[in-house]
Structure formats: structure tokens, C-alpha cells
Chain A
Amino acid sequence: MNMTNKRFLFSLRLIIVVFAALWIAGCGINNVPTYDEQVKASWSEVLNQYQRRADLVPNLVNTVKGYAAQEKEVLTAVTEARSKVAQTQLPPNILTNKEAFRTFQENQDQLTGALSRLMVVVERYPDLKSNQNFLALQSQLEGTENRIAVARRDYILAVQKYNTELRTIPGRWWAAALYPDAQVKENFTAQAGAETAPKVDFGK
């Protein structure tokens, strides 16, 4: 009887320990790595969409050249901004490296600016605007710019959540105790004109 009792108490204690572990898991001990993964996932979506845009550019530039070769200045600006984006090596710690992150953002914003100037210039060439190939590229560019905006917004939210977790209690305590490597991550800053995709009126 005594034996059974001891055994019973032991199992009771084990059950309590298991439940305590589950309760702690529900209490945010895993939040820092979970949010970290979300940030990484949304960052790769951002890169993915920027890459997609960079891939569109050469084709777009070539098509425009066929109809509007005299717009050299704008075309060169686009090509240069694009090669700058393609050539910049991203360091592995880009998300916590303020300098590198800013450079990345500046380069991409420059391409955004150059592309939207190109799309304004193009309005002057009715032949180009009725070219099927160009229309397809234009709607792809539009869609890509929109996807970039969505991906950036998702990234901003993910980083906000992660940084808040790192800076507030109890996430701050968990991070100090268990994830000492966790660092606050860089976020996008909205710049004048950076968020607006090149708008094109097809109706006119």
C-alpha cells in the first residue's frame, strides 16, 4: 500500500511537471525564435519580389528602346540603378546591420524612382503604348511593384512584432536568459515616393 502510494505521488508530480512545461510554452518562451522565423520568411519574400522586378527590367528597357531610343537619359538611369541593385552583395547579417540595410533600401528606392520616371516618359509614345509586348511588361511591372509593397508591409509588421517582443517584458527576460544572440532588427522607413508604384493610366 505504501509502495503504491509513493508511486502515485511520483506520477502526480510528473504530470504536474509536464503541465508546467506546457504552460510555460504557452507563456511565450518560444516567441523570440518563432517571430525570428517569421521575420526571415517575410524578408525572403521581399528579396524574392525585388529580384523579380530586377529580372523584368532588361526586357522592359529593350522594348522601350525600340520606340523611344531618344530617351537616353531615363533609360540609362534605369539600367544603372538596376545593375547597382544586382551587384550589391548583401552581407549575411543584413537584417541587423544598419549600414547595409540602408544601402539596400537606397539602391532599391533608386530603381523604383528611375522606373517610375520611365513610365511617365513612356506616355509620350502612343505606338509603344499599343505594343502588346510592352503592355504585358507594364502590367507585370505594376503587379510586381504591388507585390513589393505587400511584402514590405508584411516585413514591417513581422519586425515590429519581433522587436516589440525583444524589448518588452516578458519577452525581454526570455531573450536575456535563453536567446542572448537575439538582436533588434532593421526596418524599412517610408520615404517620399518610395512606396508608390509607377501608376499608369490605361484608360486614356
Chain B
Amino acid sequence: MFFTAIALFISTHLNLTSRGGEVKINVAHGNRDHRLARWAWTITLCMVVNVAAAVDFPPLTGRVVDEANLLSPGTRTQLTERLAQHERETSNQVVIVTLKSLQGLPIEDYGYQLGRAWGIGQEKRNNGVLLIMAPVERKVRIEVGYGLEGTLTDVQSHAIIQSVILPRFKAGKFEAGIVDGTDAILGTLAGTYTPEPVKSASAGKLESAIALGFFSLVFGQFLVGRLRPQALGAGLIGVGTAALIWFLLGTLGLALGMGFAAAIIQLLMNMGHGGGGYHSGGFGGGYSGGSWGDSGSGGDFTGGGGSFGGGGSSGDW
């Protein structure tokens, strides 16, 4: 909001200054050109200002993002393994972040926005936690996602920061503070959720593609079912299905596959002529009923889409 205000200010300012030169420009190019140019300038400026205004978040390179270099590589690996293990057991995503700078924001403002930007925690459960350290500003914060606010309460986060993390930080033992703090957080969180298989995004897409394919098959029957030759009708249904899925889900491969399947099914159904009916359970047999999200496998780590609302506690040393 603040930056939009700046953009507005600059653009009005620009209008004013250019108004000063209007007479001259009017003579040269005519009023309309001038106004157009002014608009173009305003828009460009607004865009530039808006881009510059966004807070920079470090890239999510893993479960331990050590921008400030507080941890040794060995500890980093150890912590990463422990956090991955915790996610396998509970589906909670806990991420440790050390920052070079808070970019002038209070750590409370930075923390929840970082959590949202990274999408830490599973989407439906919002069960993410960030342990954030900013050694330059000497601030530490435990940021708790919506879904864990009842387990890792403000009081508990406060206690962990005050009695586990800060005493070690004050003694200059950053590694020990982070490791013990992480242990305390994981201990509090243990047993909160059981890891139901969380459907990955691609599985969800496959499901909707099948539903859409089915819909377009029924709908297509209506429209072109009696069209002769049969291949034309089947082809139309196939193309329509593919177009629909591509349009709505945006996955070309899936769209082409489902379109092809729909065309074949249409042909097969018409072959029996009158018999048959829909084999609604017949297609999509390869679908395994849910699989682990990529994030669970311990390889490339990505956020599950969880959100944050300012839960947790902060401290400084």
C-alpha cells in the first residue's frame, strides 16, 4: 500500500512537471500523442517502483537455509536429516533460516511473509514452523503456521526461545542454540499429526482430468453421438476433451492423453452399438490412489503450500 502511494505520488508529480512543458509539446506533436506518452511513462514508472518495492526472500534451498553462515556443513546435513525424518513421521514441515538482513522489517513482519512466500507446511493442514535467526539485528523468532498454533503455542515458543536458544546465543554458541532449539521444537511437535498420504498436485490434476474427460464424453455423446462416420464423432469428442482439459488444467500432455482415451472409448462404445454402456471404472486404472508429495522424499525440498498468521514468539540477544 505504502509503495503504491509512492508510485501515485511520483506519477502525479510527473504529470505536473510535464504539464509545465505542455505548450511546447502541444505545438510539436499534438495533444493526444503527448497524453499517450505521459500515460506510458506513468505506467512504466509504477511498474518499476512496484517491482523494486517487494521484499526479497532468500530462495528455499533446503530445510536449512543458512544465509548468515552460522552452521558448519556437518551440522547442516544433520539438521536437514532430522527435519526430513520429522516430516516423514508427522508431515509437519520445519525449516531453519538464518538471514543476512531483515531488510528493515520487524522480524514478526518478515517471518510470516517468508513462511507464506515459501508455503511451508502442507496446504490443508498449514503445519509449518520456521525458526528464524537474524544475527545482524540480533533477533530470533519461532514462526508457527495456523495448523500448529494449538500445539506449539505462543507460551511454548516463548519458553523455547528464552530458556533454550537465547542463553546459548548470548554465550556466542550459535550452533548449539540452533540445534537444541530445533530439538525442543521437534519434541513439542512430536505426535501432532499422523502422515496420511497427502495427495500430490499431479495426482489431484489427474483426478480432475478424469472427471472432465468423463463429463465431455457424456456431453459429446449428446452432441455428436449419432454423427456418421463414427470416426468423425469420436475425433471431435477427442479434440473437445483435449481442448477442455488443456484450457482448464493447463497440462498439454495430460490433455492429449485424455483426449485420445476419450476418442477411443467413444469408438469402442459405438462398435458394440446399443450394448456396452459406460465403463466408468475402466479408465484411469493406473491411478494409485494417492502418493507422497515430492517434499516428503527428502530430495528436492519444496513447501507444501501452508500459510501463517503471526503465531509464535520472538526474542533478541
| Given A4-B228, A139-B155, A156-B1: A146 and B108 interface contact (C-beta under 8 Å) | yes
Q: Which of B157, B240, B247 contacts A22 (CB 8 A)?
A: B247
B155 A151 Cβ-Cβ under 8 A:
no
Cα of A157 to Cα of B236 in the assembled complex, Å: 45
Say what secondary structure dominates the interface of chain A.
helix
Q: A7 is contacted by which of B1, B226, B247, B312 (Cβ under 8 Å)?
A: B226
* Closest residue of B by beta carbon distance from A148: B310
Asked whether any CB of chain A lies closer than 8 Å to the CB of B231, the reply is: no
Please give, as numbers and ranges, the residues of chain A lying within 8 Å of B1 by CB-CB distance: 156-157, 160
Give A26's nearest chain B residue, CB to CB. B247
CB of A140 closer than 8 Å to a CB of B: yes
| Complex contact B155–A136 (CB within 8 A) | yes
Of the residues A4, A135, A143, A156, contact of B312 by C-beta under 8 Å: A143
B120-159 vs A, CB cutoff 8 Å, 1 = contact: the mask equals 0000000000000000000000000000000001110110
- Pick the contact of B162 from A149, A151, A160, A202 — CB < 8 Å? A202
**B224 and A143 form a contact (CB under 8 A):** no
Q: Looking at the complex, which of A8-16, A99-107, A121-129, A177-185 is the stretch in contact with chain B?
A: A8-16
Question: Please, how many angstroms separate the alpha-carbon atoms of A13 and B223 in the complex?
Answer: 10
Q: Decide if B305 is an interface residue (CB 8 Å cutoff).
A: no
- Docked complex Cα distance between A142 and B158 (Å): 10
Contacts of A146 in B (CB 8 A): 108, 310-312
Inter-chain CA distance A22–B317, complex, in Å, is 56
In the assembled complex, B227 has its CB within 8 A of some CB on chain A? yes
Assembly CA distance A10 to B223 (angstroms)? 8
Q: Of A14, A144, A149, which is within 8 A of B223 by CB?
A: A14
A149 to B1, CA, bound (A): 15
Q: Which residues of B contact A147 (CB under 8 A)?
A: 309-311
Distance in angstroms between the alpha carbons of A45 and B19 in the assembled complex? 46
A150 within 8 A of B: yes
> Which residues of B sit under 8 angstroms from A140, Cβ to Cβ?
153-155
CB closest chain-B residue, reference A149: B310
Interface residue B83 (Cβ < 8 Å from any Cβ of A): no
Of residues 19 through 52 on chain B, the ones whose CB sits less than 8 Å from some CB of chain A are: none
Contact A143 B313 (CB under 8 A): yes
Task: Give min CB distance, A117 to chain B, whole Å.
Answer: 21
Is B309 a contact partner of A150 (Cβ separation < 8 A)? yes
Choose among B112, B166, B240, B248 the residue that contacts A150 (Cβ–Cβ < 8 A). B112
With A139-B155, A202-B315 in contact, is A7–B227 under 8 Å at CB?
yes
The answer to whether the Cβ of A92 comes within 8 Å of any Cβ in the partner chain is no
- Partner of B240 from the list A8, A15, A143, A201 (CB cut-off 8 Å) is A15
Q: Which residues of A contact B228 (CB under 8 A)?
A: 4
Nearest Cβ in chain A — how far from B134, in angstroms? Answer: 15
Residues of chain B at the chain A interface (Cβ within 8 Å): 1, 108-109, 112, 153-155, 157-158, 162, 166, 223-224, 226-228, 236, 240, 247-248, 308-313, 315-317
Can you offer 12 A-B residue contacts whose CB atoms are under 8 A?
A4-B227, A4-B228, A8-B224, A11-B224, A11-B236, A19-B247, A140-B155, A143-B310, A143-B311, A144-B154, A149-B108, A150-B309
Known contacts A136-B158, A203-B166; 18 additional CB pairs below 8 A are A4-B227, A4-B228, A7-B227, A11-B223, A11-B236, A135-B158, A139-B158, A139-B313, A140-B154, A142-B158, A143-B311, A143-B313, A147-B309, A150-B112, A151-B310, A201-B316, A202-B158, A203-B315
